[in-house]
Amino acid sequence: MAIQRRTWRNVDGERIEGTWRHAFIRNGGDHFLTDLLIYADGMVDCWGLETLDGFAGKLASGWVATDLPEGARASAHHLASWKFAEPKSWLTPEMLLGEVRDDIDQLNGVPDSTGRCLAAVDVFRDEPTEANRNAV
């Protein structure tokens, strides 16, 4: 869970809490390992500050890469470079977007998708109606 990795940015003198996780940026055909910065106000820095919708667009376009093709070049700036051999990714763009949304919820102290699901299960257990089952 990325929420344990803390960062922040200042906006008009106000500290906006954030977290980060590793991600690959695809630029010019190469992949760059970088820190994806996620902030409580819904902004995401993926080599440029984006709204959550803008970040979703970067995922959809492949700029933030979850598909790592065999033989593609990659680097971690000033550290190493390599080519992918038998790459495996555990996240789809949709899954990464969901995790980033959960990070934003956690930064704001509100239930994330797991918390909302568990709350719906509790309601269903107390009142096992069809409507409550559908909510789960």
User: Would residue 51 count as lying in a domain?
Assistant: yes
Q: Is 132 among the domain residues?
A: no
Structural domain count, the chain: 1
> CA-to-CA distance for 4 and 19, rounded, in angstroms?
7
- Domain range holding 60? 2-109
Average confidence (pLDDT) per 10 residues, the chain, 136 residues: 80 96 95 97 97 98 96 95 95 97 96 89 92 88
Model pLDDT, residue 17: 97
Give domain status of residue 34, yes or no: yes
- Supply angle C-alpha 124, 128, 132, rounded to 5: 50
